[in-house]
Structure 1
Amino acid sequence: MILGTFLTALNQTVMSVATPELMKDLNIEASTAQWLTTGYMLVNGVLIPITAFLIKRFTTRQLFQSSMILFLAGTIVSAIAFNFPILLIGRVIQAAGAGIIIPLLYNVVLTLYPPAKRGTIMGMVTFAILFAPAIGPTLAGYVLDISSWKVLFYGMIPFVVIVIVCGHIYLQNVSKTVRAKVDTKSVIISTIGFSGLLYGFSVAGNSGWLSLEVIVPLVVGVLSLGLFTWRQLVLESPLLDLRTFKYSTFTLTNIINIGITIIMYADMILLPLYLQDARGYSAMEAGILMLPGALLMGLLSPVSGKLYDRYGAKWITIIGIIITIVTTIPFTVLSDSTNYNYLLLMSTGRRIGMALLITPIQTAGLNQIPSALSAHGVAIWNTSRQVAGAVGTSLLVTVMTISTNANLQDQMSVGKTNGEIPQNMLTAASIQGVNDAYLVIVIIGIISLVLSFYIKSGYIYTDEIQKRQMES
């Protein structure tokens, strides 16, 4: 299951370094190309609320095998795509399969392991979930230097087939199935809500925040999610039981995780764009710059899980966020001569900070909710993470686009340029756009840091508390 999770998570960011080549090959803009990553994460976010129902209704083997087969189908469609719409369809099919895998794996962990041992196990799971998308840009950079972007998908096919075959032979069922009905209205409302929010954020860069094309989807999205929330609270058997939010540690760590997810996924889009478009580095060079951080992030995830089992989440999280903020600040003052090795050092530092905090806050949040709500807690956690990644990426690309256009207009008005825009102006404007986007990331990091001081020290295992109350 961890291997299958690794492959599906890898696909979240494997397109990030390929964005410049796809823009040329498919004749699309950056705001369009980013849908290959944003759309993937959004479909995950839309589908994950349904996983609480699916985990109860179907066996572990049925869900895992069905998801991997769907993921394989999407990979094949992406590999044979000859234009952007078909490639996007393939990515959406991939995401439909991948959206079930990670919540299913989390639920298996919560079922098999007691709270006192979950930190270490969650660290192993986080290794797959974070290490895979972190090495995605490096792997893609190597492939793009020697071949076409299609190889990114063709090369994935045999590995997915191996996972499906091994799952058929070795995977066992770990949970009992319950006959339940899915609330179709809730599924429709949540899909409209999440889709509306993302579309509004995505087109804001080109259309402007005050245009109807932006305002209408955002309003529809917010109202739909409000209706979805109300419906889940009044239903006897909700699609997604939002009463898990009454557990304070779960709610707090979930909010912090949203901020950290935005920081992580936005960086995977912004840094390759700066390196390749503004600085002229190859896809391989952009990928290599992100590789050391990816390796350390993967290696430190199990370590941070063990630290959580010993010390709890609060101070590990605080230290991790401080490291992340300090190493992000240099990215707010990038120029056309910023040293490559300096960027490599700071990028690696950011990954170390995030590796320290992600496993502890996740384990602390999920440990607090009772076992009866585990499937819903896992679904909510992963929905928040996926939607935060999608909306955060769109928001920061929008910030970058708006800032770039504004800076370009300022330079043109000062230089009184007529006709074709000089390349140095384009480069300077795009770099300033990236700087402003990273400034937003720093602000999000500071907010997350303040919230982390409210995490309770020690452990809160709700099932154990309830057991002691019954015994007394």
Structure 2
Amino acid sequence: MKKQIKTGPIMAALLVAGFVGLFSETSLNIALGELSQIFDVNVTTIQWLATGYFLTLGIFVPVTGILMQKFTTRQMFIASISLSIIGTILAAVAPAFGLLLAGRIIQAAGLAINLPLTQNVIFTIFPPNKRGGAMGIMGLVMLAGPALGPTLAGLILDTMSWHWIFWVTIPFLLFSFIFGYVYLPNVNEIRKVSIDVLSVILSTIGFGGIVYGVSVAGDFGWSSPAVYGTIIIGLIALIIFGIRQTTMENPMLNLKAFKYPLFVLGVIMSFITFFNMLSMLVILPMYMQMALLVTAFTAGLILLPGSLLNCLLAPIIGRLFDKYGPRAIITPGTILVAAGYAFYSQFGTDTAIWMVVVTHIVMMLGIGAVLASVQTNTLNSLPKQYYPDGIAITQTIQQVAGAIGIAIMVSILTSKQSSYLATVSNDLTQAAASGTSLVFTVGFILAIINFVLSLFLKKPNH
């Protein structure tokens, strides 16, 4: 069987689809201002085009863990690409905001199947000593998609209408569908698992409540009952969900993975990394547009060198991980990330563009070293039968971390801006700079915690 598996075309099919999904995750960020005018909705409502995407990922990824045991790899792949194509076409032709949001949610459901499926296939078709390299390439895609989204979307918006942000991805999805249909084998073992409806409802209320509560906090304020009420309901639902999983014979998410200390450590580091990275990808363009007064497309271009360098180095970092083990790669990475945040927190309205470019390069090098390596080490610490559960847990936590990170950091930014305008001066650019400085100080503290955690990492010994 192993001889017939063509790893190249399989990886191409899965990763192109993943890239399109992750590109779609951030590509609309730059167009949100324009779309709120076109559809005549306010800033908080338009933000749901981004938050709704993450929320769907947070809700669907845990369900994918059990679906991967119930359906074949090929069935899951075809479902994933079909959802992505339907969602993209619906968003591209959407005449009203509601339909555009619906298209985004269907797109995100496709990506929610693709991400765990890709990791599961990599961990099945590659031996342990090759996984770091393969996960490095997946890490490249996971970073290139969201990082290139704003640059390419800025270029599309400057030359064509916003609809093309969606239309441009259709040929890539069709390529992925054809390659996957031809080359992708069924690599998973099908088990007779029944989907526990109560578990699905509890995880949806749990993750949904927390992400929703945090997302509307910037608008309603943290003391609003709508905010803390939904967060508390979400936490209670998650606790009940967790207790239920430990008492079921065939749980939806097998929490036994948390018995392995290296897995727990990796999950915490992944949470911090995604919380920081995805919020930075939203806040940094805001800082450049509001405090440095550059255009959307220029902001995208400023972020390009760091993103491209990261893409080039991701496979090399993966191979170094296979050769030297986790601590040799991850600890230096966390130091670079912390250094990046230390510089960011000092930025003001008169910061030179080249400083932003250089700091972003340092930051992205650090994130590149941490991201895929932490994921690989986290999953390597589990026995094989826990891979689908481990993947579902880590992917869920990453998407939820991203959604919560964006919401909390945007909320910190807006409240600091408001207090600056109220108490210091009514200079909008200075207010934006002081808000982003506070956000990046918070990011710096989290980056330091990640550095300390990385010192406890080691190679799993089974």
TM-score by length of 1: 0.92
Match 1:426 to one of 414, 428, 441: 428
Rounded to whole Å, the distance in 2 between the matches of 1:236 and 1:179 is 12
| Counterpart pick for 1:174 among 181, 187, 191 | 187
How many Å separate the matches in 1 of 2:273 and 2:394? 13
The reply on whether 1:347 has 2:360 as its aligned counterpart is: yes
Q: Percent identity?
A: 37
Partner AA of 1:323 in structure 2: L
- The yes-or-no answer on 1:67 pairing with 2:67 is no
8 Å contact kept, 1:107–1:374: yes
Contact 1:240 1:376 in 2 (8 A): yes
What letter is aligned with 2:21? T
Q: Tell me, which stretches of 5 or more residues in structure 2 are unaligned?
A: 1-13
2:307 and 2:127 map into 1 onto residues whose CA distance is 29
Amino acid at match of 1:117: K
Q: How does 1:45-444 map to 2 (within 5 A)?
A: 45-411=58-424, 425-444=427-446
Alpha carbons 1:56, 1:178 under 8 Å: kept: yes
Moved more, 53-62 or 29-38: 29-38
CA contact (8 A) 2:151 2:297 kept: yes
1:211 deviates by 1.3
Distance in 2, matches of 1:333 and 1:379, equals 38
Structure 2 CA distance for aligned equivalents of residues 334 and 38 of structure 1: 27
2:16 and 2:172 in contact (8 A); partners too: no
Deviations 1:75-106 (A, max 9, x none): 11111123332221111110011101010111
Most deviating of 171-180 and 302-311: 171-180
Contact kept? 2:16, 2:173, Cα under 8 Å: no
CA distance in 1, matches of 2:80, 2:60: 12
Worse overlay, 210-219 or 10-19: 10-19
- Matches of 2:461 and 2:89 in 1, distance apart? 44
What is the one-letter code of the residue matched to 2:75? Q
Which one-letter code corresponds to 2:357 in the other structure? Answer: L
Cα pair 1:4 1:163 within 8 Å, conserved: yes
Q: Give the aligned partner of residue 33 of structure 1.
A: 46
1:470 counterpart residue number: none
Number of the residue aligned with 1:11: 24
Question: Contact between 1:16 and 1:272, CA under 8 Å: does it hold in 2?
Answer: no
CA–CA separation in structure 2 for the residues paired with 1:271 and 1:114: 39
Residue 20 of structure 1 contacts residue 277 of structure 1 at CA under 8 Å; is this kept in 2?
no
The CA distance in 2 between the partners of 1:239 and 1:291, in whole Å, is: 40
Displacement of 1:205 after TM fit? Answer: 1.6
- Could you give the per-residue CA deviations for residues 145-184 of structure 1, whole angstroms, max 9, x where no partner exists? 1122221001112221222223222222222322221011
Deviation at 1:357, TM superposition (A): 1.4
CA contact (8 A) 1:47 1:96 kept: yes
Query: Offset at 1:271?
Result: 1.2
Q: Which amino acid aligns with 1:334?
A: F
**Contact 1:38 1:391 (8 Å CA) reproduced:** no
Relative to structure 2, which stretch is displaced further, 149-158 or 90-99?
A: 149-158
Residue 461 (structure 1) shift: 4.5
Answer yes or no: is the 8 Å Cα contact 1:137–1:268 preserved in 2: no
Change (3 A) 1:153 1:323: same
**CA distance in structure 2 between the aligned counterparts of 1:44 and 1:373, rounded to whole angstroms:** 21
1:122, distance to aligned residue in structure 2 (A): 1.0
Q: Which residue of 1 aligns with 2:449?
A: 447
Q: Deviations over 1:419-448 (max 9, x none)?
A: xxx6xx222222221221111111111111
CA distance in 1, matches of 2:176, 2:113: 15
Q: Residues 454-465 of structure 1: matches in 2 within 5 Å?
A: 454-456=456-458, 459-462=459-462
In the alignment, is the contact (CA less than 8 A) between 2:220 and 2:227 conserved in 1? Answer: yes
Q: Counterpart of 2:59 in structure 1: which amino acid? A: V
Provide closer, same or farther for how the CA distance between residues 32 and 449 of structure 1 changes in structure 2, counting only shifts above 3 A.
farther
Q: Is the Cα–Cα contact under 8 Å of residues 136 and 315 in structure 2 kept in the other structure?
A: yes
Higher deviation after alignment, 78-87 or 218-227 = 78-87
For residues 217 and 445 of structure 1, the distance between their equivalents in structure 2, rounded to whole angstroms, comes to 28
Q: Deviations over 1:110-155 (max 9, x none)?
A: 1112222211111112111222111111111111111222210011
Who is 1:415 aligned against? none
CA contact (8 A) 2:23 2:148 kept: yes
Tell me if the contact between 1:38 and 1:389 (Cα under 8 Å) persists in the aligned partners: no
Match of 1:469 in 2: none
Alpha-carbon spacing, 1:75–1:232, altered in 2? closer, same or farther (3 Å): same
Q: Superposition RMSD on alpha carbons, in Å?
A: 1.5
Where structure 1 has 5 or more consecutive residues not aligned to the other structure, the ranges are 413-421, 463-472
Give 3-state SS (helix, strand or coil) of 2:424's partner: helix
- Asked whether the equivalents of residues 367 and 461 of structure 1 are also in contact (C-alpha less than 8 Å), the reply is no
Within 1, Cα distance between the matches of 2:211 and 2:133?
A: 34
